[in-house]
C-alpha cells in the first residue's frame, strides 16, 4: 500500500483562498446588511399604513437618502438596501482586483480593472441618459 503525501499549498493558492474568503465575507455581510435595510423600510411602510405591494415606486435621489434615513423615512431604508445589494458584485471585483494586484498577478488584476471600467462607463452612460 503506497501513501502519497498531501501536496503543500503554494503561495498563490494561499492568496487565492484568502481572496475567496474576503469576497465571501463581503458578499455575506453585504447581503445581510442590505436585507436588514430593506426589511426596516418595509416594516416602516407597514407601520405608517402603506401597503408595500400596492404603493407606487418612490422617486430616487441619492443625495436625499441620508436625510431620509436620519428622519426615519422608510423610502430611505429601501433605497439604501437596494444600493448596497446592487453594489455588492462591484465590491467583489474590487476586492479581487486588489488581491490579485497584491499577489503580483497582473493579468487578473488587469481583467478586474477592465470590469470596473466597464461598470463605471455603464453608470456614467445611465446617468447621462437620465438627465
Residue numbers of the domain that contains 75: 15-50+61-130
pLDDT at residue number 56: 86
Inside any domain, residue 105: yes
pTM of the complete model: 0.76
pLDDT at residue number 20: 82
Inside any domain, residue 3: no
- CA dist., res. 104 & res. 106, Å (int): 6
The rounded percent of the chain whose pLDDT value lies above 70 is 89
Read off the pLDDT of each residue in 55-59 and give the average, rounded to a whole number.
Answer: 82
pLDDT digits (tens, 9 = 90+) for 84-122: 999 999 999 999 898 888 888 899 999 999 999 999 999
Q: Are 75 and 50 in contact (CB under 8 A)?
A: no
CB neighbour list of residue 115: distance below 8 Å, 6 or more residues apart: 93, 97
Please give the mean pLDDT across all residues of the chain.
87
Q: Say how many domains are in the chain.
A: 1
Amino acid at each position: 500500500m503506497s501513501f502519497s503525501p498531501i501536496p503543500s499549498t503554494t503561495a498563490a493558492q494561499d492568496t487565492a483562498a484568502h481572496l475567496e474568503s474576503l469576497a465571501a465575507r463581503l458578499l455575506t455581510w453585504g447581503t445581510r446588511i442590505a436585507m436588514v435595510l430593506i426589511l426596516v423600510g418595509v416594516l416602516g411602510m407597514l407601520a405608517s399604513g402603506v401597503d408595500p405591494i400596492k404603493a407606487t415606486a418612490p422617486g430616487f435621489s441619492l443625495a436625499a437618502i441620508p436625510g431620509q434615513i436620519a428622519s426615519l423615512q422608510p423610502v430611505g431604508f429601501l433605497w439604501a438596501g437596494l444600493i448596497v445589494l446592487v453594489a455588492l458584485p462591484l465590491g467583489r471585483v474590487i476586492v479581487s482586483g486588489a488581491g490579485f494586484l497584491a499577489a503580483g498577478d497582473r493579468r487578473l488584476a488587469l481583467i478586474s480593472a477592465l470590469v470596473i471600467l466597464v461598470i463605471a462607463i455603464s453608470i456614467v452612460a445611465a446617468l447621462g441618459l437620465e438627465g
